[in-house]
Structure 1
Amino acid sequence: MADERTFVIVGASLTGAKAAETLRADGFTGRIILIGEETERPYERPPLSKDHLHGKEGAREKAFVHEPGWYAEHDVDLRLATRVTHLNPATHVLVLDGVDELRYDRLLLATGSRVRTLDVPGHDLHGVRYLRTLDESDALLEHLRTAANVVVIGAGWIGLETAAAARHHGANVTVVEQASLPLRQVLGDEVAAVFRDLHEAHGVTFRFGTGVASFGGTGALSSVVLTDGTELPADVAVVGIGIQPNTELAVDGGLAVDNGVLVSANLATSAPDVYAAGDVVNLDHPLLGRRVRVEHWANALNGGKAAGKALLGSEEVVYDRVPYFFSDQYDLGMEYSGFAVPGEYDTVVFRGDPAVRDGKAPEFIAFWVKDGRVLAGMNANVWDVTDPIQALVRAGYKGTAVDLAKLADPDVPLDQLLG
C-alpha cells in the first residue's frame, strides 16, 4: 500500500538535505517537499571560509550535498527561492510566500541561522561584507584577490579562517576583537593564546579590547574607525560577530523557543508532528545534562540524519552526539570534541608542546578537565584520535575520572586511559 503522507522540510540546507536522504534510505515512499529561501541547492558551509575562500579549484562544486539530479531521481520536491511565511501546527498547514497553503503530516524545521549584523555609520558601504552564504563567499573571494588591506571584525572561527584566507591572497590583515584573545569564549586563555600566536606568526595584527565605531568611505569602503579612535585603512571589512537562530517561523507557530527552538532528545518540538534540527535547535542534551545550541557542521550533518529517523517515528532516536567541529588555518588543522565552558573546568592538560615556534604550527592535544573528568579535547595536527577523545569525553560526562599524568603522556595510548 502506497504511503500517502507528506513530510515537509523547511530549510534546504545540509540538515534538510540529509533528513530527506535518510527518509528515502530508510524506505519512506511518501511525498517529501524540501523548501529553501536560497537559489542554490543544499550545500555545506565549511568550504565557504576554507577551501573555496582560498580559491582552490573545484571547492565550490564540492560544497553541494548532492548532485543536481539527485532530488528528482529520489522524488524529492526541491523548492528553492521559496519562503515559508506562516505555520499553523493545529491545522498542519504552512503558507508559502504569503499566498500558497501547503498541508503536512510531519514537519522538520531546519531553518538554520543568520549572521549578526553591525549597525554603525557606513555599514552599507561597498566592501563591508559578511560570510554565511555561497553567494557571499563567491563575492568575498573576488574581493580578497585584489584587496591590499583587510579588516576582520570578530576573532571567532569565521573571523580567523577569513583572516587566514586573506593572508593567503597577500593582503595586510588586522583582526579587531573586543576580548583579550581570539576564541577566548570557546577555548579559554590557555588554548586561545595558541591561535593568537599562530596568526601573528603569519603577519596578522590584532587589535584587542576595542570595537568598530564606524566605516569610512564615499560609496566604497576606505577605512574602519575603532572605538578607541584608531583609523585602519581597509579595502574590505569582514564582519564575523556570530550568528543567531532563525526562529521566526517557530515563534509564529507558537512553538517553545529560547535561544533556538526547544527540542527533546529525539528532536521533537513542543508542537505535535513538528521536529527541528541543526543550528536552530536548542537541544536537551542527554549526555551533557544541559540545553545546548551547537552551530557547527557536524551537528547539521548528524542532526539531519537523526531528524529523518525521528520523522519516521523511530522510538530509538536519542540525539546525544558529542559536539564536534574542525578548523584549518595556515598549517594548523584541528578537531574539537566535547563541551567545556571557560570557568567551568579546573585545568587544561596538554599532551605535547602547544607553542608556535619559528612560525610553525605545533602538534598537541589539549584536554579540558574538571575533577579529573575530561569534558573536551582538541587535537591540533595530531590525527586519527577523534574516537578515543570522544570516548574520554563520554566517560567524563558520565563521571569517570582519568589519571592526569597519563593523560599528558604521549607514550600512553589514549584508548588505554579508561582501562
Structure 2
Amino acid sequence: MSLLDRRQAVVVFLAFAFAYFFAAVLRAITATLSPVLTREFGLDAGALGLLAGGYFLGFALIQLPLGTWLDRHGPRKVMLRFVLLAVLGCAAFALARDFHWLLAARILSGVGVSACLMAPLTGFRRWFTPPVQLRTNSWMLMTGSFGMVASTLPVQWLLPQVGWRPLFWGLALLMALSMLVIAWRVPQWTLEDATGKPGAPRPSYAPVWRHPYFWQMAPIGFFSYGGMIAVQSLWAGPWLARVAGYDAAAAAAGLFTINVSMLVTFWCWGLVNPWLQRRGIVTDRLIAWGLPLNFLALLLLIGLGSAAGPVTLAFFCVSSTFVALAQPAVGMFFPAALAGRALSAYNLVIFVGVFVVQWGIGLVVDAFRSAGWSDASAFRGAFGVFLATSVLSYGWFLWSRSHNPQHPP
C-alpha cells in the first residue's frame, strides 16, 4: 500500500489510539484496584503479582502467531478479532467469583489487547515515512500513558460510586466501540502488503531470531523496559501504600502524578525523535547515554525507602523511557515485510519480562517478609534484586553493541 496522505494518517492514528487508550486502562487498573482486590479475595503479594502479570502472560503467549498474522492479514482484520477477546475478558473479570476466575479473565484480556500496539506499529511501518513513524510510535505510547492516567484518580473516584465490577462492564462496552471505529477508518491490507500469497514460503521468525541487533536489544527489553511496566502498572501502587504509608486516595493521586509524567515524556519524545534522527543521534546511543539515569533513580528509590513517593517513582519511570525507544527501533531495522514479526518477537521479550518481573517482585517480597523483614525492607530488597538484573542486562547491551558490525537504526 502506498503512503497515506496527512489527513488519512491522522485519522488512522486516532482510530488506533482510541483502542490503545482503553487497552492501557485495562493494563494498569490493577494498581489502583489492588487494595480492593486484596481485601475482597484475600490476596498476598505473590498472588497480586500473578494476577496483574496474568495480563502480560496472555499478551506474551500470542505474540509469535500475532506477528505472522499481522504481516499476512494486516492490522485491521487481526485487531478486530483480538479486541473481541478483550471485550469477553472484561466481561469475565466483572463476573469473577474467585482468584482463579479473575486470573483466567485477566489472561484472556491480555490476549485480546495484544494487537492494540503491534497492529498500529505494523501499519505505520507500511503507511508512514520514517520520521512520521518515529513521531507516531512515541505518541502511541503517549496515548497509552493517557490510559494509565485514566486508570488512577478517575477510577479511584468512580469506585465508591459504581464499584469495580461495573467499571469492567464499562471497559467491555468501550472496547467494543473501538472495534467499530477501527472497522470504519483503518484501511484494508492489500495483496501487495500481504506476505501470505499463494506459493510464497511460510513466514518465518528465523531472520529475526538470528539477527545480532535483536539480541543486543532483548535483555534490556526484558528487564529494564519490562520492569518499568511491571512497576508502573502494579508495584508503584503497593509501594506508595505499604512502604510510603499512603492511603488509597493518596496512592491513586501518586499514580496519577507518575502517569502524567510518562504522558508528557512520550509527547516530548514524539517531538524530538525526528530532529534527533536528522542529526544522526541513533536509538542505541540514546539508550547507552540515558539508561544509567534509570539505575540512579532505582538506587534512589531503594535508598530513600519510606521517604520515596510519587516524584521518585516518576523519575524512575521517566528515565526508563530511553529503553522504550528500542521497540520501534527494532521494527524499523527490519524490512517492511518482516515488521509484524520483528515487532511481535520483541514484544514477546518485553511482556515475558513484565510477567517475570511483576510476579518475581511479589514472590521476593513474600520471601523476605517470611524471613522476618518488614514490609518496607522487603520491598526495598526486592527492588534491589530488580536493579541488579537491570544493570547486568545493560552490560550485555554495551558488550553486544561494541561487537555488532551492523549500523543500528
Q: TM-score under structure 2 normalisation?
A: 0.26
Question: Between Structure 1 and Structure 2, whose CA radius of gyration is higher?
Answer: 1
Name whichever structure is richer in helix by fraction.
2
Query: With CA pairs under 8 Å and 6+ residues apart, which has the higher RCO, 1 or 2?
Result: 2
Q: TM-score under structure 1 normalisation?
A: 0.25
